[in-house]
Structure 1
């Protein structure tokens, strides 16, 4: 509930700070005193957009704070979802800077206007002429029916299954779209895949083939160089091995004359052994090297195949070709098995559809069961509000499609006078009739679900006498389970409040500001007397005011 409201530098308000209690609070004041300004300030802190015209003094910022006790609202989930610190006593603050920018805070944490608006909607329901028009909307009408039908759990289960249905249906449509597009590309993808599958694709194959190609393509030069190397090593007179054999003999003889010669001898021996080993391997290689035109052609063909594929697919490595081949394999496999997948997904959608349909039927049955009760409650309440012939025609019929709140079409027709044709509320009900119907519906909702703080803005406009007295009683009854405010011009309604505030203008120097204060018992009698008889208060008006308060 709203426990405190502070407004600084807004419209005609310099500084107003008021505290509220639970129950029914009435707010009165002369026309033009600023009651709408007060409501405007509250709307800003609940998330309404602002501009520089909101500032009383354009050189200073406007600050509006509203403190709420939300311990009974079960709102920890909202705070966790939006990464906010939860407090039983939560403060919403809105600042409008001289630059035109605005900032919003919840418990001193900066928030976006969307978050502030979302939280505000859960805390205060401001009933204005605009909100009365919601009464003509089908979704709002169904919400009323569902409150009486206690459909909350049914609707939750329905919505969960509807989400599954949407998800499964989308997956099915994605498969069907894929099939439609893939069929066009399937033959081409199959060709590309087979072409890659036939190529010698493995890691390192390109390097291996390029090395082999170099050897095969230069075999004559290699054979000449091998022969020359063999000659240099093995020539009887000038060959390296022969000269090293002489060197080996010399150092072997020197080794007998000291350790330093022995070390040199070992090194020469090692050189001779290494050279002899090279000569043996060279002989082996030379014997194995021969021209192989057929293999050269094969290797050249495989390399050209790799080069052509890389150019075709605009890549520069065999690894990239392998990735493309694997991806094509998945695409080809997917389209070849798409019918089976679609059939399985269709079965899943069909099963989920049955479940959604089951919950939709439960919701419809519960709605139909309470419609007679709803019609009776509405008609009885409106009879007391000066609409003795008001009747409703409410029907729930199965729709052809699933909606967010079930699978129903609601017919909600109204007739204000006996013998008149039924019609849609927005077409046949006057503004005053809509206000009384909305008040009645709010009162019914208050008995069946936990509503936020209710702020009625002159919902009693256009009524008087006993009807206004009854409207006050309805709001008073609602306040037993929730906090209710009523901005009113009618003393019958104002007197029903457990507390009453007066909004008034006060001249200071050359300026005027709007003020608001709580009235004590004597002040309430005087205020009600003025509302009854004007500024010239008669004793009969005072007596009537006392009677109203009693």
Structure 2
């Protein structure tokens, strides 16, 4: 409940501090006294966007602070999810700076306007002419039906399943779109992959082929140099092998004359063995090497294929080509498996849809089951409010779409008079009738769910004194389980309040101020008498006022 409200430097209000009790509070005052200003200030602390023109003194900041008792509101989860300190007595503050900037706080913690608005919607329900238009909204109408059907748990289950269904549906849609693009590239990617796979590429392959190509392409020069080397080693008269043989013989003879000669002989023997091995290897190479134009052509072809692939794929090495081959393989594999994945998702979507439809059907059945009760309650309440012939035609039909609150289409039609055709509320109900219907619906909702503080802004406009008296009774009944405010011009409604406040203007030093005060019992009599008979406070008006209060 709203326990305190403080407004500073807002419109015609320089400073206002008021405290409220639980139950029913009526707020009265002459037209133009500033009741709308009070609501405007309250709306700012509930999250409405600020207007710099609302500042009374443009050089000072506007501060609006409201204290709420929220123990029964079950808001601890909201506070925790938004990293806020929870207090049973929570203070909400809004500041509008002269610069035009706005700041908001919950228990002195800075918050965004969005969070403030979310909390405000759970603290006070301000009924205005705009909200009366909600009566024609199917979502609002279904909310009323769901309250009677106690559908909260089923709606939560439906909402969870709807999230799963939409997620699967989006995944399927994206995969089908991806398949369209992938199919266009599949053939080309498959061709590129096959080309790379047939090249049978391996790391180091290019270097080996280039070396083999160099040898095959220079066979004659290699043979010439091998022959020359072999001749230098094995020439009978001046060959290196022949000369080393003589040197080996000489060193062998010296080895018997001392250890130093023995060591020298061993070194010469080692050199001879190495040179002799080289000579044999040169001879072997000569015997092995031969011109092979066919092999040269094969090696040249393989190298050219590698160069062509590197150019096509803008690669610098075999390693890069192998990486591209791996990527192409993945793409082709994914495309090849798309059909299977799509079929699996389609099966999952059918399963999700079936489960969602089952819960939606449960919602529908529970809604249909309470329609007669809702119609009866509406008609009985409106009968009390001077609309004895008011009837409703409420029907629920299945929809092909899954909406946020089920897959029902709701037909909510109204007739105010016998013999009149049924029509949509916004088309066939007058302003006064809409106000009475909204009050009736709010009173019904109050029986089935815990509503926040309710503030009715002149909901009794356009109704007679007797009807307003009954509207006041309904608000008084609602106030037994919740805090109710009524801004009213009718004494019959104002008299029902457990407490009554008067909004009025004063002129001080050529400046107009809006004030608000709680009326004493005697002041309430005078105020109500004035509302009954104008400025002429006749004995009969005073007596009537006392009668209303009693």
TM-score if structure 1 supplies the norm length? Answer: 0.87
Deviation larger for 100-109 or 2-11: 100-109
2:27/2:485 contact within 8 Å kept: yes
Which residue in the other structure is 1:179 paired with? Answer: 179
Alpha-carbon deviations, 1:118-152, whole Å to 9, x = none? 22222221110001001011111111111111111
Deviation larger for 52-61 or 185-194: 185-194
Alpha-carbon deviations, 1:310-367, whole Å to 9, x = none? 3323444444433433333233334434443333332222222222221122111111
State the secondary structure of the residue aligned to 1:409.
strand
1:168/1:345 contact within 8 Å kept: yes
Which residue in the other structure is 1:34 paired with? Answer: 34
Which residue in the other structure is 1:416 paired with? Answer: 416
Offset at 1:191?
1.3
Offset at 1:503?
1.6
Offset at 1:216?
5.1
Structure-to-structure mapping, 1:99-248, within 5 angstroms? 99-210=99-210, 212-214=212-214, 217=217
1:464/1:490 contact within 8 Å kept: no
Structure 1 residues 186 and 134: alpha-carbon distance in aligned structure 2, compared to 1, 3 A threshold: same
Offset at 1:176?
3.0
Aligned length: 545
Offset at 1:426?
0.7
1:24/1:497 contact within 8 Å kept: yes
Distance (whole Å) between structure 1 residues aligned to residue 116 and residue 527 of structure 2: 36
Deviation larger for 496-505 or 143-152: 496-505
Alpha-carbon deviations, 1:134-185, whole Å to 9, x = none? 1011111111111111111222222222222222222333333333333333
Which residue in the other structure is 1:358 paired with? Answer: 358
Distance (whole Å) between structure 1 residues aligned to residue 75 and residue 503 of structure 2: 32
Which residue in the other structure is 2:60 paired with? Answer: 60
Alpha-carbon deviations, 1:409-456, whole Å to 9, x = none? 111110111111111101000011001100100110111112122111
1:532/1:541 contact within 8 Å kept: yes
Deviation larger for 447-456 or 228-237: 228-237
State the secondary structure of the residue aligned to 1:72.
helix
Alpha-carbon deviations, 1:510-541, whole Å to 9, x = none? 32222222223333233222222233423333
1:241/1:275 contact within 8 Å kept: no
Deviation larger for 205-214 or 218-227: 218-227
1:68/1:89 contact within 8 Å kept: yes
State the secondary structure of the residue aligned to 1:460.
coil
Structure-to-structure mapping, 1:467-506, within 5 angstroms? 467-506=467-506
State the secondary structure of the residue aligned to 1:187.
helix
State the secondary structure of the residue aligned to 2:72.
coil
Which runs of 5 or more structure 1 residues have no equivalent in the other structure? Answer: none
Q: Does 1:515 align with 2:515?
A: yes
Offset at 1:272?
6.5
Structure 1 residues 352 and 444: alpha-carbon distance in aligned structure 2, compared to 1, 3 A threshold: same
Distance (whole Å) between structure 2 residues aligned to residue 277 and residue 468 of structure 1: 130
Which residue in the other structure is 2:379 paired with? Answer: 379
Structure 1 residues 270 and 525: alpha-carbon distance in aligned structure 2, compared to 1, 3 A threshold: farther
Deviation larger for 330-339 or 383-392: 330-339
Distance (whole Å) between structure 2 residues aligned to residue 242 and residue 425 of structure 1: 126
Deviation larger for 498-507 or 141-150: 498-507
Alpha-carbon deviations, 1:471-510, whole Å to 9, x = none? 1111111122222211111122122222222222222323
Structure 1 residues 94 and 282: alpha-carbon distance in aligned structure 2, compared to 1, 3 A threshold: farther
Distance (whole Å) between structure 1 residues aligned to residue 229 and residue 509 of structure 2: 117
1:375/1:394 contact within 8 Å kept: yes
Deviation larger for 162-171 or 422-431: 162-171
Which residue in the other structure is 2:89 paired with? Answer: 89
